[in-house]
Amino acid sequence: MTPDLASRSPAALGIKGLTKRYGDGTLAVENLDLEVPAGSFFGLLGPNGAGKTTLIGAVCNLIRITSGEVSVFGNSATSMKARRMIGIAEQEPNLDKFLTVYETLLYHGGYYGMDQAEADERAGQMIDAFDLSDKRDVEAPKLSGGMRRRLLLARALLHRPNLVILDEPTAGVDLELRHELWSYIRKLHEQGTTILLTTHYLEEAESLCDEIALISGGRIIARDSAEGLKRSHGAETLEQVYLKTVAGGRIGLAAEAERQARSRDMDPMDLGDEPE
């Protein structure tokens, strides 16, 4: 998107003063402000429990926020119009166990307002795009982990949302599928779709995202391009920035030393493999 167009468009995601305190008293997010420009590929990085999933839940109408405002392309996040514009692939596979792959996509299209013919056509397109043809009539619980992940992404993208939220989309996914998925998501972004990505794979975030926000303790603690973050924190890698900021420097040196020792005989993509 050109800077001129971006400056005139409402933000894809606007969050003002978002606070969420859960019933048990846990303050997950406190007075958080965030603006994701339309057309951007935006990364949200942070440790487990930092507030990423809470923030996504607030955007997608999946949690009851304590206070604040959330808007999607200028519309309140709770409005029908905003909800129509969002597609979400959640971290944990949450697929309807009574539906096949085809039915999962068909019904999702229906929930998002498509008629039978439109939903059927889109379901077929997504089955082809995500190489799910062989599993078309298989029920979700019988799919492998990788196939479930494909189906989650296909479902998120089926209604052609303007803002796609990917919450750890490649966790537990093999390298080949990860590259396929990112290739598709990149093309989607080039077509004008705004992407909000959370991931533990820092290399992914660095190579994909125009801008990255680091979140910790329910607050945004840094935000810039990957290069900008490295420059402003005097770091060589995004991982060093992450450890300095998110971990407050307390475990930074120890973790970096451990990482270097491990990286001699481990795939660097294994970083952050712990479950959320």
Binding residues vs other proteins (CB under 8 A): 22-23, 57, 60-64, 80-81, 83-86, 88, 90, 92, 94-99, 103, 107-108, 110-115, 125, 128-129, 155, 157, 159-162, 184, 187-188, 191-193
Q: Which CB, 4 or 115, lies closer to other proteins?
A: 115
Q: How far is the CB of 131 from other proteins (least distance, A)?
A: 10
DSSP string over the chain: --HHHHHHSPPSEEEEEEEEE-TTS-EEEEEEEEEE-TT-EEEEE--TTSSHHHHHHHHTT-S--SEEEEEETTEETTSHHHHHHEEEE-SS----TTSBHHHHHHHHHHHTT--HHHHHHHHHHHHHHTT-GGGTTSBGGGS-HHHHHHHHHHHHHHT--SEEEEESTTTT--HHHHHHHHHHHHHHHHTT-EEEEE-S-HHHHHHH-SEEEEEETTEEEEEE-HHHHHHHTT-SSHHHHHHHHTTTTTTHHHHHHHHHHHHTTS-GGGTT-S--
Closest to other proteins by CB, 128 or 174 = 128
User: With contact defined as beta carbons under 8 Å apart, do 165 and 87 qualify?
Assistant: yes
Instruction: For other proteins, give the closer residue by CB, 57 or 252.
Output: 57
Which CB sits closer to other proteins, 129 or 247?
A: 129
Query: Could you tell me the smallest distance in angstroms from the CB atom of residue 174 to other proteins?
Result: 20
Residue pair 15/58 in contact by the 8 Å Cβ criterion: yes
**Minimal distance, residue 209 CB to other proteins, in Å:** 18
For other proteins, which is the closer residue by CB, 44 or 88?
88
- Supply the minimum distance, in Å, between the C-beta of residue 60 and other proteins: 4
Q: Which lies closer to other proteins via its Cβ, residue 19 or residue 162?
A: 162
Shortest distance (Å) from residue 133 CB to other proteins: 12
Q: What angle do CA 201, 14, 150 make, to 5 degrees?
A: 40
CB of 2 to other proteins, least distance (A): 16
Q: Residue 267 Cβ, how far from other proteins at the closest point, in Å?
A: 28
Which of 113/268 has CB closer to other proteins?
Answer: 113
